[in-house]
Structure 1
Amino acid sequence: MIRSRLFRMAAVCAAVPMIVLAACSSGGGGTQQQAAKTELKLYNDKGAWSKYFDQMGALSKQQIGLSMKPVGYTDEPTYQAFIKASFRTDVKPDLFTWTTGGRLAEIVAQKQVAETTQLWQEAIKSGDLTTELAKYYTVGGKQYCVPLNAAYWGMFYNKKIFDEHQLKPPTTWDELMQIAATLKKSGVTAFYHTSVLFSFVWFEQLLAGTDPDLYDRLSTGQAKYTDPGVVEVMKRWKSMIDAGYFNNPGDKTDPGDVLKTGKAAMVSFGTWFNTSMTQRDMKAGSDYGFFTIPNVNPALPKTSMIFESGPLCSLAKAPDAQASTKYLKWWVTTAAQEKWATARGDVSANPKVAIADEAIAQVGKAAGSGEFRLVNRYFEAAPPPVLTAALDGFGAFVVKPDGYQKILEDIQRVADEYWSTHQQGN
């Protein structure tokens, strides 16, 4: 499977000689510092965001006398390999991005990430962070890292295509399927999907929109991938593929270009995808729009909305722990977050920050007021071994959807093995 090969590549990368890692670090990186740092390196897996990180580095130098230089990766397995290698070498990042859920718990258990409980307590008291968000950063009753970003998932759509076919954002699942059918008849591909990394997107959306309780039980080992409700979701997904509503999952075109060129009329991603639109000089309201994806099951009391928050972390043995903590404290402030959110056109983890994009702002406000049922993104919700198996499985499914039953059985075997040694429900 493609995903398996990527993780094997990551293992090889993790084993490269120290001299190569030192070269990649673009600096000495030793754990001992002769003097307090005035510039931090932020290693991240968001290479396309370099210019935004640069802007934040310039602002932090101005406001707290501590600049930041991004070191961006675009290949996720290689990035993970580098960070994990830093745990056992002297080439250590000042700051780094990661994910919440199982992967955060994993490095906390290894005592590699700095605790931020006091920082969270102070930020919540000042109104810069919320108690609702804290749970995603809590492991064993303590907080680790701070939010790099927060994002709500929905559907970005090419407004010119919608206008050309006299279509409006749907309010029900049936309306969304009617839009897809209308576009198909006109020779337009309705939806984007992929066989690598983000292969989970439609699985999580269909399951959360059908039975969010089942989705939650699945992520905690209290339900099985072979349960009837999960099987029915795969059948629905297969029917959409069979209907011709999706693009070729092997297409390597960047999803931002897919939407801009109209290779697909709709792309489901988090609000962070707004950055891809602004990078392509697309204007919200005229070139593209954003709508909340309706539930598959109209009887659900609230619309299920996928939510994610990516952490910005510091190592427990950071090169300059005091400087790294100082930067994390600044990062969550309103002054920093206004710049960060505005530059990328996204929502902020800081509730005080106003969002310029009207559609995105409305979603953020509604989500914050409890209008939606927030569902943790599958990438964070699934335990790491199960996630790896599922990404392989879903990647194979979108290419050959007839094999869904065996794929679910294969994922469940990995889940059974994992939950046999871990407490279910945690």
Structure 2
Amino acid sequence: MKFVRARVLTALVAAASLALTACGGGDDKDSGSGTKTELKLYNDKGAWGPYFEEVGKLSQEQIGIGMKPVGYTDEPTYSAFIKASFRTNNKPDLFTWSTGGRLEEIVESGQVAETTDLWKEAVAAGDLSKELESTYTYNGKQYCVPLNISYWVMFYNKKVFDDNGVKPPTTWAELMASADTLKGKGIKPFYHTSVLFSFVWFQQLLIGTDPELYNKLATGEAKYTDPGVVAVMERWKQMIDGGYFSDPGSKEDPAVQLKTGKTAMGIFGTWFNTSMTQQGMKPGQDYGMFVIPTVTPGSGKNTVAFESGPLCSLAKAPDTASSTKYMKWWVQQPAQEKWANSRGDVSANPKVTIPDPGLATIAKAAGDGEYSLANRYFEAAPAPVLTAALDAFGAFMVDTGSYMKQLQNIQKAADEYWKGR
């Protein structure tokens, strides 16, 4: 119940925030001809404000349209604000979201602008890949464009590894042996959180054990109470009970935990590179990253979770022409070089060169097919199932003995969603 109450409170806070924002709206710059010269980009990536601002300056120079970021740091509050804006006159020019079930939900509501023509142009120009197009396709049409792409890998503190004689593993057994060594020295091997990213270890353990089962959960062909899923939860329980994880309720920034050596490793998207560099850490020198080995020996390629976050415009945006023009520019090489390289991440534009050797190696290997790719759970799960799962995984971390109850709760939401579909 406490998770439900938290969501209700968040929604109320968001509603209040929306009301205040609406009262103070209308301050966007306008050329006087009805075409905006500055757009507001609402996002749930508040820490990325400086990088958005850099791109905004470049867009002002190149296409005559600036961009001002309006960043949130609490995802539920942000989601509530965006959905509330659908019903008011205070609408964002541009906004970030996530693909998969959550994007499908707002596309089906008729709120999101179609970008089919934009995608055709970008793919033909080599600015976007045909392979990525399916992630943004619903009923044969495209919506939004890629804000970013990321591969989910293990980040680690190099000094902690070196001081304790630990090396990046090539097998799951090596990973757990390294974790045992670190645990024996009083260092928490792995980062863990019960807030928003509570799905991460469920995702990793399942794609590392049975990626086909993982994909079937996303389509309703498998159940959360199936033996393979239960076995993953039991393995996760053993790891939590065994003391392998940091405090999931900690409010301390995970990048700080890795920098200080309180925690040795953490699973994140390659976008986490930005968080590490913001802490003054140097890639390849202070920290590194590696692809997580499969849990089941001899099961083939490593499976890497993949995400692509969208940049969207509303079907009834304040200035549709300006928003569309901005998104067309966004996917092109000049914009993407500034955006990806300033943050230290990979780009959705294949033309962009990645200067960070660690990122470049992972991106090239993924592009060359060395890894199997799985859609990140946050996007793969239908929206109502995701909501139930995030609460369930968070509750499981508090009481690991409740794993069957939590799986049943998720399956109840899945049964309701898939009923009649």
TM-score (norm 1): 0.96
Report SS of the residue matched to 1:248. Answer: coil
Taking the aligned partners of 1:313 and 1:119, their CA distance within structure 2 comes to 12
- Distance verdict in 2 for CA 1:28–1:91, change over 3 Å: farther
The aligned runs of 1:95-244 (5 Å cut-off) are 95-244=94-243
The letter for the 2-side match of 1:310 is G
Equivalent residue for 1:387? 386
* Cα-Cα RMSD: 1.6
Question: Contact 2:392 / 2:410 at 8 angstroms: preserved in 1?
Answer: yes
The aligned runs of 1:208-357 (5 Å cut-off) are 208-357=207-356
- After TM superposition, give the deviation of residue 301 of structure 1 in Å: 2.2
1:284-325 CA-partner distances (Å, limit 9, x unpaired)? 111100000001012222110000000000000011111000
Equivalent residue for 2:11? 11
Taking the aligned partners of 1:18 and 1:102, their CA distance within structure 2 comes to 24
- Distance verdict in 2 for CA 1:17–1:58, change over 3 Å: closer
Taking the aligned partners of 2:141 and 2:333, their CA distance within structure 1 comes to 24
1:368-412 CA-partner distances (Å, limit 9, x unpaired)? 111111100101111111111111111011121111111111111
Report SS of the residue matched to 1:171. Answer: coil
1:147-193 CA-partner distances (Å, limit 9, x unpaired)? 00000000000000000011110000000000100001111110000
- After TM superposition, give the deviation of residue 3 of structure 1 in Å: 4.0
Taking the aligned partners of 1:216 and 1:28, their CA distance within structure 2 comes to 45
Taking the aligned partners of 2:56 and 2:224, their CA distance within structure 1 comes to 44
Taking the aligned partners of 1:156 and 1:14, their CA distance within structure 2 comes to 33
1:74-113 CA-partner distances (Å, limit 9, x unpaired)? 1111111111111111111110000101111111111101
Taking the aligned partners of 1:271 and 1:239, their CA distance within structure 2 comes to 27
Question: Contact 1:13 / 1:81 at 8 angstroms: preserved in 2?
Answer: no
Taking the aligned partners of 2:226 and 2:20, their CA distance within structure 1 comes to 47
TM-score (norm 2): 0.97
Large movers: runs of 4+ above 6 Å: none
Taking the aligned partners of 1:74 and 1:56, their CA distance within structure 2 comes to 20
- Distance verdict in 2 for CA 1:170–1:264, change over 3 Å: same
Taking the aligned partners of 2:309 and 2:183, their CA distance within structure 1 comes to 35
Equivalent residue for 1:63? 62
Taking the aligned partners of 1:397 and 1:272, their CA distance within structure 2 comes to 27
- After TM superposition, give the deviation of residue 248 of structure 1 in Å: 1.1
- After TM superposition, give the deviation of residue 262 of structure 1 in Å: 1.0
Deviates more, 1:2-11 or 1:333-342: 2-11
- Distance verdict in 2 for CA 1:6–1:329, change over 3 Å: farther
- After TM superposition, give the deviation of residue 51 of structure 1 in Å: 0.2
- After TM superposition, give the deviation of residue 9 of structure 1 in Å: 2.7
Equivalent residue for 2:22? 22
Report SS of the residue matched to 2:398. Answer: coil
1:191-214 CA-partner distances (Å, limit 9, x unpaired)? 000111111000000000100000
Taking the aligned partners of 1:49 and 1:312, their CA distance within structure 2 comes to 14
- After TM superposition, give the deviation of residue 267 of structure 1 in Å: 0.8
Question: Contact 2:29 / 2:37 at 8 angstroms: preserved in 1?
Answer: no
Question: Contact 1:105 / 1:139 at 8 angstroms: preserved in 2?
Answer: yes
Equivalent residue for 2:52? 53
- After TM superposition, give the deviation of residue 367 of structure 1 in Å: 0.8
Report SS of the residue matched to 1:150. Answer: strand
The letter for the 1-side match of 2:12 is V
- Distance verdict in 2 for CA 1:362–1:18, change over 3 Å: closer
Taking the aligned partners of 1:121 and 1:369, their CA distance within structure 2 comes to 24
Report SS of the residue matched to 1:37. Answer: coil
Deviates more, 1:408-417 or 1:7-16: 7-16
Question: Contact 1:208 / 1:304 at 8 angstroms: preserved in 2?
Answer: yes
1:45-76 CA-partner distances (Å, limit 9, x unpaired)? 00000000000000101111111000001111
The letter for the 1-side match of 2:21 is L
Question: Contact 1:224 / 1:412 at 8 angstroms: preserved in 2?
Answer: yes
Taking the aligned partners of 1:323 and 1:414, their CA distance within structure 2 comes to 40
Equivalent residue for 2:405? 406
Report SS of the residue matched to 1:54. Answer: helix
- After TM superposition, give the deviation of residue 27 of structure 1 in Å: 3.4
- After TM superposition, give the deviation of residue 2 of structure 1 in Å: 5.1
Taking the aligned partners of 1:78 and 1:364, their CA distance within structure 2 comes to 32
Taking the aligned partners of 1:6 and 1:107, their CA distance within structure 2 comes to 23
Query: Number of residues paired by the alignment?
Result: 420
- After TM superposition, give the deviation of residue 29 of structure 1 in Å: 6.9
Taking the aligned partners of 2:2 and 2:62, their CA distance within structure 1 comes to 45
Taking the aligned partners of 1:19 and 1:231, their CA distance within structure 2 comes to 44
Equivalent residue for 2:361? 362
